[in-house]
Structure 1
Amino acid sequence: MALTISNISLFIGENLEYIDKGYVVVKNGIIESVGTGDYKGKSDGAIYDGEGILAIPGFINAHTHIGDSFGKDIGVDAAFETRIHPIYGIKNKILRKSERKHLVNFMRSSAMSMMRNGIVAFADFREGGLEGIDQIKEALSGLSIKGIVLGRPEFYHDLSKDFVKNPKLPPDVIELVFQIANAADGLGISGANENTDNSLNEYGKVIHKNSLKKKFLIGIHAAESLETTKKSITVTGKSEVQRIVSKLLPNFVVHLTHASDMDIELVARKKIGIVVCPRANGTLGVGIPRISKMLSSGCCVGIGTDNIMINSPDMFRELDYVWKVSRTLADRPIPAREILKMATVNGGKILDLNSGAIMTGKSADIIFIDKNNLDISPMHDPHVSVIHRANASCILNVMINGKFIDGDEFGCM
């Protein structure tokens, strides 16, 4: 049975063109048709009037760490490495010392919070090896949100000591990487500074070998802080991005807060996606990514909210932050429509999802916004209104795979 909504405003297609009056037809979880004007076709299901509603693509949160949801704002004034270093950071201590049931419950709460804020899919860098993957699968059980799980083994090199000898991954770690890849959707690697050239190369080999059987993703952090950027150049003579591209060739890199022009152009040339996390970078005090430069260089840029420990998983706040910062710092402010594409269309492309746009053949992942909400009415510029003024209170409902999210999944009774 099809569901047809007519007389509705829409952001249509990959360019998010605003249509004041149109229609969308959903069947079997897919957008069967979408268009302008009155709906004149026949329907084998219900037809609803969408007057006063704006349909936009569901948000895709392209980088998270929801495993640390249990540790919100712990160590808020601690230094960058002290908070999030994968070996000795506060975050790692939280993950090691917390009870499984608490980790799972708070991860589930974060997933529900994301849906409430219009997020239909997210990519999580999942720590903890196979156990960590099992935890997030349990946390997402029964929820509609699409979780792309990128696992990792808890094995790291000390670049300062190991770079010259350039050791490979031990055989037992390689075997674990194979198991993780098969249990998850790919790998979410900590960073180049925790790996030798040989270990980066081996991660890539495992994924590319497995990709013959199943589609996998590789994501990795890079150039997040000035300290990590300087360390890579001092120890190896190359930037993190240069090492990553030459040895790993991932699907996407996260942050690039301190990437050079050469780094950004290299990523663009290799058609590697970039996921920026501006509010998380701001919380940690490490800087602001040069999104305008990335876009002008031809990069496909998505947005992530990063660690729950340091940042809320709210894409509305992320969009508003990027909007304001770009108008303050960039030579050419980023248009509102381009910022919204980062949270929808671009995220879908980077994560290879059939989502992120309202167009025929795409998954029916849609946010329905109340145009008469007090925070956004009147909407003189719909794209600006959504990224600059809208919030969760403006959402009437969220659709994922053609089904409306019920109250229980929103955390409501």
Structure 2
Amino acid sequence: MSLVITNANLLLGKELDYVEKGYIAIEDTRISSAAAGNYKGSGKRLDAKGFLIIPGFINAHTHIADSIAKDVAASDGLDARVHPVFGAKKNILQKSQPEHLKAFIRNSVISMMKKGIVAFADFREDGREGVVLLKEAIAGLPVKCVVLGRANYYSNPRDAAGLQHEAIEQVQQVLEMADGLGISGANENTDMTLSQYRQLARKKLVAVHAAESKETAEFSKVHTGRSEVDRVIEYLKPDFVVHMTNATEDEISLVAKRRTGVVVCPRANGVLGAGIPRVALLLRQGCLVAIGTDNVMLNSPDILRELDYIWKASRATEDEMIEPRELLKMATVNAAEI
């Protein structure tokens, strides 16, 4: 069955070019064409006069499973709330019943859909079981989820050892079910471990948190002599890095040169007191930037609020106005490209 939306104003293509009075043709639930002017073919027609149609929003970074812990430890800092080894989040997820986790995950995803989000990329802890739980929780919902799983394995970054056999098996099991790997960070892994994650993932996606806070940046330099960003770019070679809130200009330049995507999470950074990502600088340096809402326990999964926040915060902190078109690209076409 075909449907044609006519007489609509569109933001079209990778540059979100404005098209007045265009059409969108849909065949079997998929968009077959979109352009200016009138559609010549047949099909049921829907007049969209007065409407502006844009691509659906993509939430490029979430931790959806901690929906069950909204505002828990609200006065604490980054590590106390979400550290993968000893944070409050870890304890809550371990003690929660799977069915309760699924219910909260599903409710959060429905909330995202109501806010125009059609896809999201989730860092899913707890190995293969965590990936399966997420997929079961959102079964039947008309939303795309890019699941980036993780083994329950962390190590001292000063060590030289790589993944133990049991951890390698965990990673392989995760990759059988997931779209790739979502690594906590360089500070919880050795150089060899980071390299092994890349090798095991092969052509699947690999992403990692980096330069989220001043504390994590300092920890890396004290314990390894190098920055988080330097280490993940050299050893992990991720498809994208999350945060870059406290990255230096040299680190931003390195990420841009390697054509590694960047996903910023401005409001979550604000909640944790981690700072404000320098989005205007990231864009000026040539980074491909998308936007995410991060942990639901910290922050509501609302992309429009993220865009509003970073637009104002960037003007205040960088004295530079980000073009609205660039903001919309972060929430749509940039995220899709990453």
Whether TM exceeds 0.5 here: the answer is: yes
Deviations 1:179-206 (A, max 9, x none): 1111111100000000010111111110
Matches within 5 A, 1:42-81: 42-43=41-42, 45-81=43-79
The TM-score with structure 1 as length reference comes to 0.81
- In structure 1, C-alpha distance between the alignment counterparts of 2:95 and 2:169, rounded to whole Å: 26
Identity percentage of aligned residues: 51
- CA drift at 1:40: 4.4
- Which residue in the other structure is 1:16 paired with? 16
Unaligned ranges ≥5, structure 2: none
* 1:196 and 2:190 matched: yes
The TM-score with structure 2 as length reference comes to 0.98
SS in 2 for 1:233: helix
Deviations 1:236-289 (A, max 9, x none): 111101000110101000000000111111111111100000000001111001
- Which residue in the other structure is 2:30 paired with? 30
RCO greater where, 1 or 2, for CA within 8 Å and sep 6 or more? 1
Q: Is residue 198–residue 237 contact of structure 2 (8 Å, CA) maintained in 1?
A: yes
* 1:186 and 2:185 matched: no
Deviations 1:211-251 (A, max 9, x none): 3xxxx100100000000000111111111010001101010
* 1:177 and 2:171 matched: yes
- Which residue in the other structure is 1:374 paired with? none
- In structure 1, C-alpha distance between the alignment counterparts of 2:85 and 2:156, rounded to whole Å: 10
- Which residue in the other structure is 2:301 paired with? 313
SS in 2 for 1:318: helix
Q: Between Structure 1 and Structure 2, how many residues are aligned? A: 338
- In structure 1, C-alpha distance between the alignment counterparts of 2:13 and 2:51, rounded to whole Å: 18
- In structure 2, C-alpha distance between the alignment counterparts of 1:193 and 1:313, rounded to whole Å: 27
- Which residue in the other structure is 1:95 paired with? 93
SS in 1 for 2:25: strand
The residue identity in structure 2 corresponding to 1:199 is T
- CA drift at 1:24: 1.1
* 1:153 and 2:151 matched: yes
- Which residue in the other structure is 1:106 paired with? 104
- Which residue in the other structure is 1:125 paired with? 123
- In structure 2, C-alpha distance between the alignment counterparts of 1:123 and 1:186, rounded to whole Å: 10
- Which residue in the other structure is 1:354 paired with? none
SS in 2 for 1:114: helix
The residue identity in structure 2 corresponding to 1:265 is S
- In structure 1, C-alpha distance between the alignment counterparts of 2:106 and 2:115, rounded to whole Å: 14
Measured at CA, do residues 71 and 166 of structure 1 come closer, stay the same or move farther in structure 2, by a change above 3 Å? Answer: same
SS in 2 for 1:289: coil
Aligned with residue 299 of structure 1, among 287, 307, 315: 287
The residue identity in structure 1 corresponding to 2:182 is G
- CA drift at 1:30: 2.8
The residue identity in structure 1 corresponding to 2:193 is S
- Which residue in the other structure is 2:278 paired with? 290
- In structure 1, C-alpha distance between the alignment counterparts of 2:41 and 2:172, rounded to whole Å: 50
- CA drift at 1:323: 1.2
Q: Is residue 23–residue 39 contact of structure 2 (8 Å, CA) maintained in 1?
A: no
- In structure 2, C-alpha distance between the alignment counterparts of 1:298 and 1:29, rounded to whole Å: 35
The residue identity in structure 2 corresponding to 1:113 is S
Deviations 1:334-365 (A, max 9, x none): 10100110000000001xxxxxxxxxxxxxxx
- In structure 2, C-alpha distance between the alignment counterparts of 1:34 and 1:185, rounded to whole Å: 29
- Which residue in the other structure is 1:205 paired with? 199
- Which residue in the other structure is 1:272 paired with? 260
Q: Runs of at least 4 residues of structure 1 off by over 3 A?
A: none
SS in 2 for 1:57: coil
Unaligned ranges ≥5, structure 1: 351-413
- CA drift at 1:19: 2.1
